[in-house]
């Protein structure tokens, strides 16, 4: 039986938010807080349900960095692909940052050519402090 895809108002609102945040990772908590600040209530379970459907449909990509961090979601239609860059994770605030740097691309090429090792940038996360947390020291 073929599954028909339909969108509820809540799914449309979530998709609109993801488009607004294009190129960024967001958590279900980020989405909940965004709508709460706007006076709109969408339950966390509902958000997860819609995100899971969007992941299944290929509209959204889900990232799980580690066991201690909430899953992040990103619109797949956003410019650039997460497989083309690395991620930085702030150990203090938990922010996940896209890190697209030609120097790391050279390092990735070096590892492949000289050491026969292909780095999976989608799963590579560097841990440290983001600029904001580093400046608070």
pLDDT in tens, 24-48: 788 899 999 999 999 998 999 999 9
**Domains (range + CATH), the chain:** 7-79 (1.10.10.10), 81-137 (3.30.1490.190)
Which residue, 3, 38, 43, 45, is CA-closest to 17?
Answer: 38
Residue 70, Cβ density class (10 Å: 0-12 exposed, 13-18 middle, ≥19 buried): middle
The answer to whether 93 touches 27, Cβ cutoff 8 Å, is no
pTM above threshold 0.85 = no
Q: pLDDT, tens digit, for every residue of 83-125?
A: 567 888 888 887 778 777 888 888 889 999 999 999 887 778 8
Better-predicted residue by pLDDT, 106 or 6: 106
Which residue, 1, 3, 41, 34, is CA-closest to 19?
Answer: 34
């Amino acid at each position: 039986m073929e599954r028909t895809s339909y969108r509820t108002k809540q799914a449309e609102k979530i998709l609109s938010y993801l488009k607004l945040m294009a190129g960024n990772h967001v958590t279900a908590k980020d989405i909940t807080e965004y709508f709460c600040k706007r006076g709109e209530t969408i339950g966390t379970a509902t958000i997860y349900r819609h995100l899971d459907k969007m992941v299944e449909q290929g509209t959204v990509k889900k990232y799980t960095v580690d066991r201690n961090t909430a899953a992040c979601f990103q619109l797949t239609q956003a410019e650039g692909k997460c497989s083309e860059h690395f991620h930085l994770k702030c150990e203090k605030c938990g922010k996940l940052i896209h890190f697209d740097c030609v120097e790391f691309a050279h390092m990735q090429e070096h590892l492949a050519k000289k050491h026969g090792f292909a780095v999976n940038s989608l799963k590579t996360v560097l841990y440290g402090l983001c600029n904001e947390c580093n400046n608070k020291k």
